[in-house]
Structure 1
Amino acid sequence: MLLIAITVVLAGGVATATLDAPTEPAPSAVLSLSATDDRVSIYHRGGDPIDVAAATVRVRVDGEPLDEQPPVPFFSAAGFRPGPTGPFNAASDDAWRAGDTATFRVAGTNDPTLAPGRTVTVEIAVDGQPVASLETVVESE
């Protein structure tokens, strides 16, 4: 009986230590957002490089999430026009560095659509940790 009690206590200690283990901190980066018609551009102004393969990008228009979210990196994806530029393009480097602009175009089949005057919010996370929450108003070209 004592052996079982010791095993349970040790297992609880190992589980607690594993759950409390420090995780790698999210990159610290300064980003800016612009949107023109169907194009969303995010400029990396400075700070740490961002691992695009570990990043998630979530887009909302007037508070409503896009039906199809950009699966970065990508080349052709449902809800988006082919050929994003910069680090969001699957053929580019996995690191998004200061000075790089990542751009993608939302297809008319994605809902809600981008239109001048609408508010676009983009949230970026790396390995589930928030990096940036950006907001802008869509302008016309």
Structure 2
Amino acid sequence: MAPVAGVLLIAITVVLAGGVAAAALGGPSATVPPSAVLSLSATDDRVAIDHRGGDPIDVAAVRVRVSVDGEPLDEQPPLPFFSAAGFHPGPTGPFNSAGDDTLRVGETAAFRVADTNDPTLEPGRRVTVEITAAGRPVATLETVVEPG
């Protein structure tokens, strides 16, 4: 129940922050990051982000930073990509450079962290994903790695 409550609180915060920013700046502009409701899951080496509502996200225009138990991964995912140091080839959804690079409502984007990347994803460890656009926060998501 706690992870669900956490996702809902994060979603509410992201939506409210986007609404306040849009109102303060007189509506949407290139400097206002997308406002979206996202959730995060992690199983063994797989990290997945589900788009549950709000604006579409141009994956090529955002930066994703992944931390495990507060320590950033040595290699961060360069979005979009197919093969990159520290990750297994073939991420799914808009994270894959061969597909559409827009994450929309109802879609999931995922990647798998290789054992060569440190720290490793192991069951019970806390994963944090920070998503920014033009240096501005879009979302900060957290979850605990579940066994696969």
Per the shorter chain, which TM-score range?
0.7 to 0.9
- Partner residue of 1:111? 118
Alignment partner of 2:94: what SS?
A: helix
Matched, 1:47 2:54: yes
Matched, 1:137 2:134: no
Distance 1:73 1:59 in 2: 15
Aligned letter for 1:101? T
- String of CA shifts for 1:4-35, please: whole Å, max 9, x gaps: xxxxxxxxxxxxxxxxxx75211000000000
Of 82, 95, 98, 1:88 maps to 95
CA-CA distance at 1:131 after TM superposition: 0.4
Structure 1 runs of 4+ aligned residues shifted over 6 Å read none
- Please list every run of 5 or more consecutive structure 2 residues that lacks an aligned counterpart in the other structure: 1-28
Distance 2:103 2:57 in 1: 5
Aligned letter for 1:75? F
- Partner residue of 2:39? 32
Is the contact between residue 51 and residue 126 of structure 1 (CA under 8 Å) also seen in structure 2?
no
TM-score (norm 1): 0.83
Higher Rg: 1
Distance 1:37 1:94 in 2: 25
Distance 2:59 2:46 in 1: 19
Distance 2:30 2:53 in 1: 23
Indicate the larger mover: 90-99 or 80-89: 90-99
Distance 2:30 2:36 in 1: 18
Distance 1:23 1:40 in 2: 28
Distance 1:71 1:110 in 2: 14
TM-score (norm 2): 0.79
Matched, 1:128 2:135: yes
Alignment partner of 2:97: what SS?
A: coil
Distance 1:88 1:127 in 2: 18
CA-CA distance at 1:54 after TM superposition: 0.6
- Please list every run of 5 or more consecutive structure 1 residues that lacks an aligned counterpart in the other structure: 1-21
Aligned letter for 1:67? D
Percentage of identical aligned residues: 76
